[in-house]
Chains A and B, each alone.
Chain A
Amino acid sequence: MSAPSLTPEIVLHTSPHLHSARSVGVIMRNVVYAMLPICLYGVYNFGISVVALLVVSTLSCVLTEHMFCRAAGRPSSIKDSSVIITGILLGLTLPPGFPLWMAAVGGFVAVGLGKMLFGGLGFNVFNPALVGRAFLQAAFPTAITTYTPALANGRFAEFIPTTLTFPFAQPPVITEWIARVRIDAFSGATPLTALKFDKIGTGLTPLFWGNVAGSAGETSVILILLGGLYLVARNFMDWRITAAMLLSAFVLSGVFHLSNPAAYPHPLFMLFSGGLMLGAVFMATDMVGSPVTPLGVWIYGGVMGALTILIRLLGGLPEGVMYAILIGNAVSPMIDNLTQPRVYGTQRKTGARA
């Protein structure tokens, strides 16, 4: 990854000396391909509002990065596609009827605060999309918890009323609209909210295929897993992080479930519901925010999975993936420090560093 040298000189390098042709741009474009089926399913599930949501969040992110680059007098870095991923991921984690102007604000905060102020790609401490979402969650707590039914009637003909809210205005109350378009007795709750506040469970089959309420792109477990498998097969993603996160979430929620099956849901429900799958596959594995040591990635994933379950079952919020991953990002440099492997030919000394 060395910068091309302008003067003919002998360049001394540590290993690796052989580079593959894959650049940041190639990796990022493949991540976009892996996310496309999820986006399409989101559109099928919730209608044209999701198209508008994804377009606005992505455009807002790209424009913000371009503006910041220009203000800093640097060449624009939007061509490496990483900002497109941020935009799409942000859109996928928002409710389908989320007001577009708020999505634009989220994109600005995600890229401006979460990425460019730290110095751009590679320097950001946190996953930018989640920084944007955390800001939106704190700023507009009502709008970001207003969900609409999946497979609603007429979803390809009209926008969800909240989508087209005038900038800086409050989104309208859509209880009546939901009553008109829903195909079953939808109460406005995602599977996790229904479980936490109304004690209503959801079957595993709809959760697996994805025709349930939720954020625009988090509902279909099968499509997210397929996208992840594609990235793993092309060696663009560290599967150990995803595996560790899902495993620790499964084990911890299994312990809860066995201790009191009436109060705590089945571990598979915990894996398939909410944003855990999307977070574990596409956000926790963000190369910038995760550790690099072999043991570190397992610890990192394990911490995030356990935090997710703890927030969901013991915290006040129905969903905890976002905060779990942000905390995971924050501790990942420390995990790296603690898990430095022994350098070949040296002995690990206690106390002083060799």
Chain B
Amino acid sequence: MAHAHGNAPSPSESMEAFLNGLWKQNPVFVQVLGMCPTLAVTNSARNAAAMGLATIFVLVCSNTLISLVRKLVQKQVRIATYILIIATFVTMVDYIIKAVSVDVYKALGPFIALIVVNCIILGRAEAFASKNSVGKSILDGLGMGLGFAIALFCLGGVREILGAGTLFGVSLFGPNFQPWVLFLLPSGGFFTLAGWLLIFTWWKERKKRMAEAQQ
């Protein structure tokens, strides 16, 4: 944080702010935040991608604005201000999605409005944007948003492939494929998330063990 008061952050710091959300502090796979949309709207790759894009938009915009006004907002009213800012962008996203595709709008249902209370967004506002420069806040929002979107896509892709034999509505295995109905049901979301978490944890443990063995 040595350069936090300076004007331009060093490239490596910016890179770190961006990469943190993608991998090291991935909101879904590492922090296990925002489980409500993660489990609820990932029954197809399309819904997952739409929710991911909407969250990226809200996160980047709210991070930018909150970082801009961070020195003007009184400490006592900061949460209310953040929510107001976030809600503004969520309302915009709500209208944009309705204009682009009514199908997606219906599929996502109340979960678009619920982006307001997605703890990732408020979490980044409080933990990052309110303490860092605009440039870094944008990169942080992009990284976290992309990390969230990739995770949603990982879930939605697996669930759609197994549950319907399609990806983005395109049939992958022909008409003879046996769909695993379970994966389109809510319980399938838990199974898929658990599977991904298992893979990540196992991989990380393995890496740690190999690093220890090398020493």
Contacts and interface: CB of A to CB of B under 8 A. Distances in A.
A141 B178 CA distance: 11
Contacts of B177: 168-170
Contacts of A140: 178, 180-181
Contact of A139 (B176, B182, B198, B202): B182
B32 interface: no
Contacts of A170: 176-178
Given A102-B178, A139-B181, A143-B178, 9 more contacts: A135-B182, A139-B182, A139-B183, A140-B181, A141-B181, A168-B173, A169-B176, A169-B177, A171-B178
B187 interface: yes
Ranked nearest first, the 6 interchain pairs of A and B with the lowest CB-CB distance are A139-B182, A138-B182, A139-B180, A170-B178, A169-B176, A170-B176
Interface in B177-191: 177-178, 180-183, 185, 187
A138 B176 contact: no
21 contacts: A71-B202, A102-B178, A117-B198, A138-B182, A138-B187, A139-B181, A139-B182, A139-B183, A140-B178, A140-B181, A141-B181, A143-B178, A165-B178, A166-B176, A168-B173, A168-B177, A168-B178, A169-B177, A170-B176, A170-B177, A170-B178
B159 to A, nearest CB: 12
Interface of A: 71, 102, 117, 135, 138-141, 143, 165-166, 168-171
A163 to B, nearest CB: 14
Chain B interface category by residue count? 10 to 19
Interface of B: 173, 176-178, 180-183, 185, 187, 198, 202
A168 B175 CA distance: 11
Nearest to B209: A73
B177 to A, nearest CB: 6
B181 A138 contact: yes
A219 to B, nearest CB: 26
Nearest to B185: A138
A170 B165 CA distance: 12
Nearest to B187: A138
Nearest to B206: A71
A139 B185 CA distance: 9
Contacts of B173: 168
A238 B181 CA distance: 37
A140 B202 CA distance: 29
A139 B180 CA distance: 5
Contacts of B180: 139-140
Contacts of A139: 180-183
Contacts of B198: 117
A207 B185 CA distance: 35
Nearest to B195: A113
B138 to A, nearest CB: 40
Contacts of B182: 135, 138-139
Nearest to A143: B178
B196 to A, nearest CB: 14
A141 B176 CA distance: 16
A169 B183 CA distance: 16
Nearest to A167: B178
A130 to B, nearest CB: 15
A169 B179 CA distance: 9
B66 to A, nearest CB: 41
A247 B19 CA distance: 62
Nearest to B175: A170
Nearest to A101: B178
Nearest to B183: A139
